[in-house]
Chain A
Amino acid sequence: MIPTDRRYTREHDWVKFEEGIAILGITDHAQEALGDIVYVELPDIDAEIEIGESYTTVESVKAASPVDSPVSGRVVEVNTELDEKPELLNEDPYGQFIAKIACAEVNQDALLTAGEYEQFLAENKED
């Protein structure tokens, strides 16, 4: 099930807004495509991130995937639990965030609702 409390990008990332803070993570589809995640390169606290800039790289054994931010702003929190247990992103992609950004600007055009994302997934399904 795709949670309806947040927005999605066509790059299979999610963002949830809570009082000016953008909480960022990757979707179930993203974790499945990557396979077993072995490392998450977390951004520094206080790092300034631009829209479209990669704020993290998620690594599996065979791939390294930079994740672009749909928002700009300052990193205020990172999920340090991922340092020890990157597999949490595989196990619970919607329950585990990667970073929280004090949001300055949002690229609304890039964001889909849960329904739109579900449709996007269906349209782009590999056959």
Chain B
Amino acid sequence: MRQSYKLIFERSREGRRAYDLPALDVPAVDAVPANMKREGKLDLPEVGEVDLVRHYTNLSRRNFGVDNGFYPLGSCTMKYNPKINEEVASMSENMHPILDEDMAQGSLRLMYDLEGYLCEICGMDAFTLQPAAGAHGELTGLMLIRAYHEKRGDDARKTIIVPDAAHGTNPASAVMAGFKVKEIKSAPDGGVDLDALREAVGPDTAGLMLTNPSTLGLFERNIKQIAAIVHEAGGLLYYDGANLNAIMGIVRPGDMGFDVMHINLHKTFSTPHGGGGPGSGPVGFKKHLEPFMPVPALVEREGMIELDYDRPDSIGKVKSFYGNFGVIVRAYAYIRSLGGAGLREASENAVLNANYIKNALRGVYHIPHDRICMHECIVTPTEEMMEKGVHTTDIAKALIDRGYHPPTIYFPLIVHEAMMIEPTESESRETLDEFIGAMKAIANEALTNPESVHACPKNTPIGRPDETTAARKPIVRYTRPE
């Protein structure tokens, strides 16, 4: 199975080309000032078209996506990406982003309608589609919180409270938005410790960032008390929408008391993640934060959707143009395909599938918080496995050999040796049963033949990589041998 693969740069042969352009039909001009002209030839590959096609086709075969198989990567909601959505997303490829509004009514209307749907799904008053990813949405949402307090002259509110179980983006986004971060410890059941929260809030509290269901895959039962504590202290509640796939049509962040939130369209709303992006991170908020939303806002006037830049309290722009439009179209198509009942059905089955797996692994793996989970469950290796030297990493690598993408590992940080399994609603019972079978077989192998687990993965193009050397002596680009 092991097989290294040349870089496109290593396939280069001088003089080969894969491009052609029409002959220049206007006079060539020598317009670049001499001192700004580039000298010499750019160091890019020179390959024929067929070489290029085979290179990337075979490179893609060294990768694994949802279309290849089960991908229960916790917190990432790797559900199936419908093909029709790819098709409709390419329909407006030639639309320039800066057109008169009357030329772009279709695209603007689609975005405006999607904002409305997201408001209904989340119980929010308004949405902006501008942020390009979840973390970008977090930053934008926090900027709204900051602008809100600043506008009220409440300048002491400089602290964002973040539970220690939170996604790493939460504290990082808070710092980027200019806040200090106060981390609070989780209660033994993984939820927010109410006493710790009461102690943490004060006149410096700008807000609390929370994901519900939590990163443990459990619903935060005390959410009403949490909201009350934060609001009474004068802070706002931020909802990290990474786990929204558990609750569509069942409970809404707005009804739980959240003031502002982001959604990862590339998780809950089924837009493909592209191997790391593009994502999309729309931000929803209640009325009191609307004056601060990024420009342009979409507004309807006399049947026309307009881009409104005249918003004096706006935080400004957080990126160019209006968001990752191609991603937005896919999410729109997904919502229109399913409707309200279909979204609820998706969430119900996501939760069912997670509980089904958790139930089947009970007794084989350790389950740290064994109650009904939401869309994902956390299991860890048993004491016996770890005594044999088999850890979460090893189990992940053994899953790879069996054709599965491993769950998210070593997160959340508050669970030692965590494996976070998120099956999503896309998977059939047979797939779940086969995965459960694989997990059980690995557990057995860990106890009877741990060396064999340590040797995984065996069926992949490369073995376990040396990450230490990669970080000590970073090689981040190809340089030609002398």
Contacts and interface: CB of A to CB of B under 8 A. Distances in A.
Interface of B: 410, 467-468, 471-472
Interface in A65-99: 86-87
Nearest to A62: B410
Contacts, number: 14
A39 interface: yes
Nearest to B472: A38
A59 interface: yes
Contacts of A86: 472
Given A61-B471, A62-B410, A86-B472, 11 more contacts: A36-B468, A36-B472, A38-B468, A38-B471, A38-B472, A39-B471, A39-B472, A59-B471, A61-B467, A61-B468, A87-B472
Nearest to A87: B472
14 contacts: A36-B468, A36-B472, A38-B468, A38-B471, A38-B472, A39-B471, A39-B472, A59-B471, A61-B467, A61-B468, A61-B471, A62-B410, A86-B472, A87-B472
B430 to A, nearest CB: 36
Interface in A30-50: 36, 38-39
Nearest to A90: B468
Interface of A: 36, 38-39, 59, 61-62, 86-87
Contacts of A62: 410
> Which of the listed residues A38, A59, A87 has the most CB atoms from chain B within 10 Å of its own CB?
A38
A86 B474 CA distance: 13
Contacts of B471: 38-39, 59, 61
A87 B472 CA distance: 8
B396 to A, nearest CB: 14
A61 B471 CA distance: 7
Return the 4 tightest CB-CB contacts between A and B, nearest first: A38-B471, A36-B468, A38-B472, A61-B467
A36 B471 CA distance: 10
A38 B466 CA distance: 12
A27 B472 CA distance: 20
A62 B472 CA distance: 13
A39 B468 CA distance: 10
Contacts of B468: 36, 38, 61
Contacts of A36: 468, 472
A122 B471 CA distance: 33
A39 B471 CA distance: 8
A24 to B, nearest CB: 22
Contacts of B410: 62
Contacts of B472: 36, 38-39, 86-87
Contacts of B467: 61
Nearest to B471: A38
A7 to B, nearest CB: 29
A87 to B, nearest CB: 7
> Which of the listed residues A39, A61, A62, A87 has the most CB atoms from chain B within 10 Å of its own CB?
A61
Nearest to A61: B467
A41 B471 CA distance: 13
A62 B413 CA distance: 12
B241 to A, nearest CB: 27
> Which of the listed residues A36, A39, A86, A87 has the most CB atoms from chain B within 10 Å of its own CB?
A36
A87 B471 CA distance: 11
A4 B365 CA distance: 46
A52 B424 CA distance: 46
A15 B467 CA distance: 31
Nearest to A85: B472
A62 B410 CA distance: 10
Contacts of A38: 468, 471-472
A84 to B, nearest CB: 9
A39 B410 CA distance: 22
A38 B471 CA distance: 6
B180 to A, nearest CB: 15
Nearest to B410: A62
A1 B136 CA distance: 49
Contacts of A61: 467-468, 471
A44 to B, nearest CB: 21
A36 B467 CA distance: 10
A38 B468 CA distance: 6
Contacts of A39: 471-472
Nearest to A36: B468
Nearest to A38: B471
A45 to B, nearest CB: 24
